[in-house]
Structure formats: C-alpha cells, structure tokens
Homo-oligomer: A and B are copies of this chain.
Amino acid sequence: MAIAPSCFALDPDTPGTLQQRIRQMVAEAILAGRLQPGERMPSSRGLASYLGVSRITVTLAYGDLVADDFLQARGRSGYFVSAQAVPPPVRAAPRVQDGAGVDWARALGPRAEAPLGSAKPADWRSYRFPFIYGQADPALFDHQSWRACTLRALGQRDFPAMSDDSFEADDPRLVEYIARHSLPRRGILARPEEVLVTLGAQNALWLAAQLLLNQRRVAGIEDPGYPGLRAILGQTRCRVQPLAVGPQGLEPDRLPRGLDVLFCTPSHHCPTGATMPLNTRRALLRRAEAEGLLVVEDDYEFELATGGAALPALKALDRSDRVIHVGSFSKSLFPGLRLGYLVGAAPFIREARALRASVLRHPPGLIQRAAAYFLSLGHHDAMLRRLGAAFHQRRQITLDAVAREGLHLAGSTRAPGGSSLWMRAPDGLDTAALAARLRGQGVLIEPGAPFFHGPQAPTGFYRIAYSSIPADRIPEGIARIARAMEAPHG
C-alpha cells in the first residue's frame, strides 16, 4: 500500500518554486524519520491532485529526489523511499531547534516533579528472574473472562456507556458494585455519593492531596513510604513531615502535633509489608479525632490477604467521617487498567468529582463498564482467590530460599498476604549498585533508597516481589542475589 497523499502538507511559508517546495516536503519527511525505507510514495497523479498542483510538477520533484537518492524509481510500480536516504543511527535535526524561540526555563518555572520512583526497565519481561513489583502475571490473569466482559461492554446496548461524554459522572454500575460488594468486605458502608471512580490509586491520592493541602498545611507521610506520593505532595507546596515506621507500621503515640493530613497504608505498609493491629488503628483514629486530623488511607493490596478475614479498614472504624479511603484494581486486575476509587464524606467526594471533571472529565466508559461486568459476574473474586493462593505459595518458596541463602529480612513476615518482601543487605552494600550488577545476570530487584524521605536515604535496603516471577524460578533467583552480595565488587 502506498503512503496516503494526506500524509503530506505543503508548507505555505517555504520559499522557492512549487517543484522545490514539494521536493523539500518529501525530503524533510524522510529525514525526520516519518517515512521508512522501502515505503511506496503516493502516485504523482494522486499527490498532485491532493495538493492542487499539476502532475508534471510532482513528477519533476520526484525526479529530483531520485537523483539525490531520497527515492528509487521501480519502473511501473512507482517510487519508493530509498534505503540510503535515512541516516540510520542518528535522527536528523528538526527544522527548528527544541524550544529555540522560547525560554522554557522561565515559561515553565521551577518544577519539582520527582520521578515516580521506578527503575523498572520497559523490557522487564525478557529478564529470567523479575522480582519486580506491581505488574500483572499473565499466567494468573483470567484473560478469557476479561475478554468476554470487554466484548459485552462493546455491545450495541452499552454504546451510551462507552461513547458518551459523561462530564463528571461515573458508570453507575461500577459504583454500585464497589459500594455494595467491594467496600463491605473492608467493613465500609458507603452510599454512591460517597464514592468516586479514579484513574487508579495514583489519581485518587493526587485528588485528595490537591483538595486537602496547600502551602500552609502539613502532611504526615510514612518514612519509608510510597515514593509516588512525594511528587503529589510537591505540587501542593505543603510542608511534609516524615514519620518513622515501626515493625507494625505507623505508631500513633509518636505522631507529632500540628499535622493536618496523614497519609498511611495500614493494611500493608509500603514497602515493609507491616500490618497495623486493630488496637493501633483505633488509637490512630482517637488521636486523629482529638487533633482534628484527616487521614488518607491507601488500602494497598488488601484483597490479597490470605488466611482469615482481613482486619477492617481504618475507614470502617471511622466514626467522624475523617478517613478518606483509597482503593485500586491495579493489583487484583492489572495496573494498566488505571481504575481505582476514593471513598469519603459526601462534601469531600463532591469537590473531588468537580476537580476530576476539570482535570480529565471521567475515566473511559469502556474500561469502567468492562470492569463492572468482570466484578459483578464474580470473576474478580475468583481472581483474588487464585492470586491469593499463588502468592501464598510463592511467598513460602521465597521465604525458604531467603533463609537457605542467608539473606536478611527487614520487614514483617507475620502479616498475611502481600506480594513482596522488604530486605536488608549486608552492612556497607549499596543496593542500587547491587541491582545494577544483578541486571546483567537476568535478576531484577528494587533498590530501597527511593522509598525514604530526604537526601540521606539509607542505601542498604531492597524489595523483592514475587507477583511476576514463576514459583520454580524463585530459588535460583534468590541464590543469584546471595552470590552477587558475596562477589567482590567496587
């Protein structure tokens, strides 16, 4: 198939004859890498008609381009982009230098967007021992049911749900399922107007931070804690107060005075995996009530708890509606879905909805409806059981291998569920260097420094997740980590 004439546009500001300008238009497209070697050019008749010029003008321009080896003529089959035309490794400079005409440093101002804190290589699936966190495992995912649910959401009857501009509204079916089924399992009773669907937990945390913080307010965060939170808080210009985390998570007695909003992960502390006991949850809420503190609870991979009912969420124990609860389908479905939710008092949800509408209107309709079907047909529950069982097994295998190889756990192993272990390297070993060395041996681990607040982050911690690695590769992967620690390095 030939390239469509409409891929070209004559620059009205280029000087020169029509023939020269057509030549330049084609050459620039080739040099910019927009046309690939071997692609067939539009016929001279087709391009001439599209541009509104005579055919002979295009033919003459094509002749020029052949002479300069931008194009090759192949008899009656037409003109093709020449293999010689494109300088292979380096891309040609664009016509205008990047932002040459604009002082972007001034226009953009000082910006403090911290990176999201992942050193995950995009090709992580090609590594043999990916102890990588937070990605879906195709071996555990119920692909067939997900396809069936999406197909149903693509049907004629659901055309309005998929296609409509819903302004600030969510898919009512998804909200109903979350309110009636997902939340009661966490002990939370909420009405639809107390729930907002978000673009994943990231978006939920961002909305909460934007609404509750400003440069005069103080946010308490766990240290170590979720790195993605730092960029979010940076945008609010609030003061950030890091709070040390004990073996059972945050310690309410040690909370300083003067906090306005506390961000925490009681179900599984990120990254240590500690679970906050019920009495501590109650003590935290008493403290919050006494101090007028709002609490944002990131109810982080709760569903994957195995063995017995999980502890109720903070939100379930909240008598004064001061807890804002963040949930996500990233761990139990897949993170590329980008679906999560906020649960909170109706006045808060109302403002969060208005803010979300202004930022992005609403999550895509197709995704919301497909997820609603997946949940309401029970596939999500089945997934949770399958994930819970598989992660439980992998966790045991990992713990056994860790013990055998003499690696050191830094986090809690008593907390049920979860999908990772928080580890401590031998003294003096920098885990960023360790991770880089292990990459060359097909092993991906996550250095721990990005989880800590401030410039003096400890460099001796790392995280190994077992959510994306097959069980039978875990022992060899752990053995490689142990060997890499023993190897002389420097």
A328 to B232, CA, bound (A): 26
Q: Does A412 contact B (CB under 8 A)?
A: no
The answer to whether residues A317 and B361 also contact, given A180-B7, A334-B162 and a CB cut-off of 8 A, is no
Residues of B within 8 A of A134 (CB): 165
Q: Does A203 contact B (CB under 8 A)?
A: yes
Which of the residues B34, B102, B316, B348 comes within 8 Å of A108, measured between beta carbons? Answer: B348
A9 to B187, CA, bound (A): 5
Across the interface, do A317 and B351 meet the contact criterion of CB distance under 8 Å?
Answer: no
Q: Does A77 contact B (CB under 8 A)?
A: no
Q: Does A179 contact B (CB under 8 A)?
A: yes
Across the interface, do A360 and B184 meet the contact criterion of CB distance under 8 Å?
Answer: no
A27 to chain B, nearest CB (A): 12
Q: Does A487 contact B (CB under 8 A)?
A: no
Task: Write out, one digit per residue, whether chain A residues 365-395 have a CB within 8 A of any chain B CB (1) or not (0).
Answer: 1110000000000000100000000000000
A218 to chain B, nearest CB (A): 13
A449 to B6, CA, bound (A): 38
Stretch of A148-156, A401-409, A430-438, A469-477 that contacts chain B: A148-156
Stretch of A319-327, A416-424, A458-466 that contacts chain B: A319-327
Nearest opposing residue in chain B for A132, CB measure: B165
Task: Write out, one digit per residue, whether chain A residues 442-455 have a CB within 8 A of any chain B CB (1) or not (0).
Answer: 00000000000000
A18 to chain B, nearest CB (A): 15
A8 to B334, CA, bound (A): 26
Nearest opposing residue in chain B for A285, CB measure: B13
Across the interface, do B366 and A336 meet the contact criterion of CB distance under 8 Å?
Answer: yes
The answer to whether residues A180 and B34 also contact, given A167-B120, A336-B364 and a CB cut-off of 8 A, is yes
Nearest opposing residue in chain B for A359, CB measure: B206
Q: Does A88 contact B (CB under 8 A)?
A: no
Give the interface size bracket for A toward B: 35 or more
Residues of B within 8 A of A294 (CB): 102, 107
Residues of B within 8 A of A165 (CB): 118, 120, 134-135, 330, 335-336
A162 to B370, CA, bound (A): 14
A11 to B188, CA, bound (A): 9
Q: Does A355 contact B (CB under 8 A)?
A: yes
The answer to whether residues A136 and B113 also contact, given A7-B185, A189-B34 and a CB cut-off of 8 A, is no
Across the interface, do A13 and B321 meet the contact criterion of CB distance under 8 Å?
Answer: no
Across the interface, do A312 and B180 meet the contact criterion of CB distance under 8 Å?
Answer: no
A355 to B52, CA, bound (A): 43
Stretch of A92-100, A249-257, A267-275 that contacts chain B: A92-100
A186 to B11, CA, bound (A): 10
Q: Does A116 contact B (CB under 8 A)?
A: yes
A104 to B335, CA, bound (A): 32
A336 to chain B, nearest CB (A): 4
Give residues of chain A (94-126) contacting chain B, Cβ–Cβ below 8 Å. 94-102, 104, 107-109, 111, 113, 115-116, 118, 120, 122, 125
Which of the residues B91, B141, B202 comes within 8 Å of A191, measured between beta carbons? Answer: B91
Across the interface, do B96 and A361 meet the contact criterion of CB distance under 8 Å?
Answer: no
Q: Does A164 contact B (CB under 8 A)?
A: yes
A337 to B96, CA, bound (A): 33
Across the interface, do B184 and A29 meet the contact criterion of CB distance under 8 Å?
Answer: yes
Across the interface, do B11 and A202 meet the contact criterion of CB distance under 8 Å?
Answer: no
Residues of B within 8 A of A363 (CB): 338, 364
Q: Does A309 contact B (CB under 8 A)?
A: yes
Nearest opposing residue in chain B for A336, CB measure: B365
Across the interface, do B322 and A102 meet the contact criterion of CB distance under 8 Å?
Answer: yes
Across the interface, do B361 and A200 meet the contact criterion of CB distance under 8 Å?
Answer: yes
Listed A/B pairs (29) with beta-carbon separation below 8 Å? A6-B381, A7-B184, A12-B312, A13-B282, A28-B189, A34-B179, A52-B309, A96-B320, A98-B321, A99-B345, A101-B322, A102-B321, A104-B347, A108-B348, A109-B214, A122-B166, A122-B169, A138-B156, A163-B334, A164-B335, A165-B330, A202-B361, A203-B361, A235-B358, A336-B366, A337-B364, A364-B367, A366-B366, A366-B367
**15 other A-B residue contacts (CB within 8 Å) besides A34-B179, A235-B355:** A9-B187, A11-B187, A12-B278, A13-B317, A94-B189, A102-B321, A107-B212, A113-B355, A118-B165, A136-B164, A143-B156, A199-B359, A231-B357, A336-B366, A337-B365
Name the 3 nearest CB pairs between A and B, nearest first: A101-B320, A165-B335, A336-B365
